[in-house]
Amino acid sequence: MTSRKTRQSYGVKSAPYGFLLPAGILFALFFALPIGYAIWLSLHKVEVKGLGLGRGARSEVWAGLANYTDAVTDSELLHGALRILGYGAIVVPVMLGLALVFALMLDADRVRLAPFTRLAIFLPYAIPGVVAAMMWGFLYLPDVSPFYFLLDKLGLPQPDLLDGGPLYGAMANIAVWGGTGFNMIVIYTALRAIPAEVYEAARLDGCSQLQIALRVKIPMVAPSLVLTAFFSIIATLQVFNEPTTLKPLTNALSTTWSPLMRVYQDAFVKGDIYSAAATAVLIAVVTLVLSFGFLRAANSRTKQEEAR
Amino acid sequence: MPFTKQHRRLVATATAVVLGASALAACGSSDDSDTQDASGPANLTYWTWTPNMDKVVDLWNKGPGKKQQIKVTVKKQASGDTLVTKILTAHKAKKAPDLVQAEYQALPTLVSNDALADISGDAGDLKGKFADGIWQQATLGTDALYAIPQDSGPMMFYYRADLFKKYGLEVPGTWDEFAETARALKKKAPDKDLTTFSANDSGLFAGLAQQAGAKWWTASGDKWKVGIDDAATKKVADFWGGLVKEGAVDNQPMYTPAWNKALNTGKQIAWVSAVWAPGTLTTAAPDTKGKWAMAPLPQWDASSNATGSWGGSSTAVTTDSKHRAAAAKFAAWLNTDKAALTALAKESGIYPAATDAQLSGAFQEPPAYFSNQADFYPQAQKIAKTTAPAAWGPNVNVAYATFKDAFAAAAKNKSDFGDALTKMQDATVADMKKQGFEVAE
């Protein structure tokens, strides 16, 4: 009797761990282990002796935080970070603003061809980033672009979109073109979930369509706005496809234009996986801090508003 | 209670990380035993990016390879730097293929990582079959032999013969005349350019520096000397920087749709390139077929006769191969046997490094694009013989990457190319020092 009882209680006690085990193993294998390996790599470096030719001339040694201090003090990496901040300052507001406007317009009463319009706005999202960047890149190149041909025929000035300030706009345009549809769908879905009686009440109170949009709809979809902003910030910090694809077309984009391009350059061109690992870890930390910092700030604001 | 739970979780994660890390560390440090197994049948793997290489290898597998029981399997790869990274990664796991294709400038990097085997004892005496400048790149100037040269890219000057005539231009024999030609064209047709200075292929600049006599990396004793900003290279950088600054040549990158169009419509009427240019021109400027001509590269002074090389690769045997002798035998056959070289030229469009193959087989007729220039290949062979020696070091990849960024910025801003060159030198030296190489100041 007693032995059975203890066995039973033991079984019950360990059951949750048994259920957790598969997830735990997967977490360790595919999440903790690679991250741990990246951190381990970032703390090492290769040391070469003499000319570095022949057997045993290279050894992997402990580097401490040297790779991190190199990355933090590297001005090119800092400039890369500033460049994507400038890029993000264009992309995030424009993309989310457009997404919100489109979603509100589609949700308004008496809108025609809504399903078609929705699909048309969403469609660019289905096009792979590299293909989109290539397509826009060709449209930006003065010698092969139909737009430039038209501008030339009309005698209008032809801006150089692949250089200086306009380059940021040109790149942001690709991201906005590709990302607006997705964000619009997220916001639109949230709009559809608002119960109809809310609108009815608003209309009975004499609200116009515009007022409903500004006073009712936007506050009610605030959580999905926060979510889309969260995704957009992460995507901006990780920008890689567009500049890498446009790079061969212009002298204005360096191989280390964005921080992730720098990681790629270190790992696969210079063959220095140790610095690449350190920079990657740094980018991950910054992304985490920025995106969760944003979430926190947004959440505390909504809570404050609820308390009022 | 919550504290202990959290604590326990932390310990578990930490243990998993440490265990994983040490397991991976153990993978990396297996012992270095001599992997030499001469006799018996051998199955070799060959990483290459050459198109249709499998067809050429079939000749071996059905002929000499069958007799010697050495079978080679081709695995198609991406070219250039990407493959170097891949070989080094595979080598870390001791799983590199038996044979690899490698560009000449990548050989020191691979040797320095102990990825390439010395096959001087296995390949036989092949020295006489190649130009000295090429052979020295495969030996790195030592007694060892790290690769067998496959193709080479002697540099030449390509120009639109019809447009040169139309604008009354002479084919430049020296770089001074080249600059004069560029200016003369600008005067006669301001919307046209002789050519462009492009920063997106470092090999072009390296070849031009090589022609001028630059020695980017030299080793003396236990120390490397980096001479990227030496007088010869500086002369080349200043020359092109001057032309870009005064607007005598264009500053836009090549290999873009815009560049193709410029060549195809005669907006750019010349191209400093290498022996493989006919292939590129065929796709970039199809409408101007038969209108181009090839001449030797302009010289720095009228009395000298040298060219650089742009591109070109070799076949190497890795230290991970268990059949080094067999692999070396195949590599020697592939790059010196007449049937193999003819097939390489025909199937893969390769310009062989082996001197006597440069006029036989596929090279008796000019390339279709240059059907108007009957002596294309005899002249190419003459030029190939004047290839200046090149001096590569263990971090060409870093120098090349810095070149692209620094010179692209300088070309865009039309600023001093000398500063860009200094940047290239500094970045290369800093990287070597960081890695622990001894660098002489």
Annotation: CATH topology of B5-153+311-378: D-Maltodextrin-Binding Protein; domain 2 (3.40.190)
Q: How confident is the model at residue B146 (pLDDT cuts 50, 70, 90)?
A: very high
Q: Do A48 and B436 touch (CB under 8 A)?
A: yes
C-beta of residue B323 within 8 angstroms of C-beta of residue B109: no
Domain B155-308+391-439 is classified in which CATH homologous superfamily? Answer: Periplasmic binding protein-like II (3.40.190.10)
A285 — pLDDT class (breaks 50, 70, 90): very high
| CB–CB contact B397 A271 (8 Å) | yes
| B168 three-state secondary structure | coil
Q: Do A36 and B21 count as a contact with CB atoms less than 8 A apart?
A: yes
CA B95 vs CA A62, A298, B45, B91, B102: distances in Å: 25, 51, 11, 5, 17
User: Which residues does chain A have within 8 Å of residue B401's beta carbon, measured at their own beta carbons?
Assistant: 255, 265, 269-270
Contact residues for B396 (Cβ-Cβ < 8 A; gap 6+): B105, B106, B108, B109
By Cβ distance, the residue of A48, A55, A267 closest to B32 is A55
**Is residue B115 within 8 Å of residue B124, measured between CB atoms?**
no
| Residues in A touching B20 (Cβ below 8 Å) | 28, 32-33, 36-37
**Assessment of whether the complete model's pTM goes beyond 0.90:** no
A21 touches chain B (CB under 8 A): no
ipTM at complex level = 0.81
Tell me the chain B residues in contact with residue A47 when contact means C-beta distances shorter than 8 Å: 435-436
Which residue out of B33, B87, B396, B398 would a mutagenesis test of the A interface target, given it has the greatest number of A Cβ atoms within 10 Å?
B398
- Name which of A54-58, A191-195, B233-237, B274-278 the model is least confident about: A54-58
Confidence category of residue B85, pLDDT binned at 50, 70, 90: confident
CB contact under 8 A, B81 and A269: yes
Q: CA B376, B380, B382, B387: dihedral to nearest 10 degrees?
A: 170
Nearest CA-CA distance, residue B374 and chain A, Å? 34
A residues 243-282 near B, CB within 8 Å? Answer: 248-252, 254-256, 265, 267-271
pLDDT at B141: 81
Nearest to B213 by CA among B314, B305, B106: B305
CA A292 to chain centre: 13
Q: How far is B150 from chain A (nearest CA, A)?
A: 23
Q: How far is B61 from chain A (nearest CA, A)?
A: 32
Cβ B394–A52 below 8 Å, yes or no?
A: yes
- CB half-sphere exposure, B29, CA atoms < 13 A: 10
Using one digit for the tens of pLDDT, what is the confidence trace for A1-52? 445 555 555 667 888 888 999 999 999 999 999 999 999 999 999 888 877 7
Nearest neighbour of A37 by CB, restricted to B20, B140, B401: B20
Count of residues making up chain B: 441
Tokens of A256: 């280390």
- Comma-separated ranges of CATH 3.40.190.10 domains in chain B: 5-153+311-378, 155-308+391-439
Contact A179, A79 (CB under 8 A): no
- Decide if B98 contacts B321 (C-beta within 8 A): yes
Count CB pairs under 8 A between chains A and B. Answer: 126
**Measured CA distances, B269 to A143, A241, B171, B196, B265 (Å):** 16, 34, 12, 10, 9
Q: Do B253 and A144 touch (CB under 8 A)?
A: no
How close, in Å, is residue B258 to chain A by CA atoms? 5
Q: What is the pLDDT of residues B184-194, one digit of tens each?
A: 999 999 999 99
Which parts of A160-240 are beta strand (E)? none
Instruction: Convert the pLDDT of each residue in B51-72 to its tens digit.
Output: 899 999 999 999 999 999 999 9
Q: Report phi then psi at A233, rounded to 5.
A: -65, -45
Q: What is the pLDDT of residue A158?
A: 78
From chain A, pick out residues whose CB is under 8 angstroms from the CB of B200: 248
Centre a 10 Å sphere on the Cβ of residue A69 and count the other Cβ atoms it contains.
12
Collect all residues of chain B within an 8 Å Cβ-Cβ radius of residue A52. Answer: 112, 394, 435-437
Q: Which residue on chain B is closest to A250 by alpha carbon?
A: B253
CB contact under 8 A, A251 and B24: no
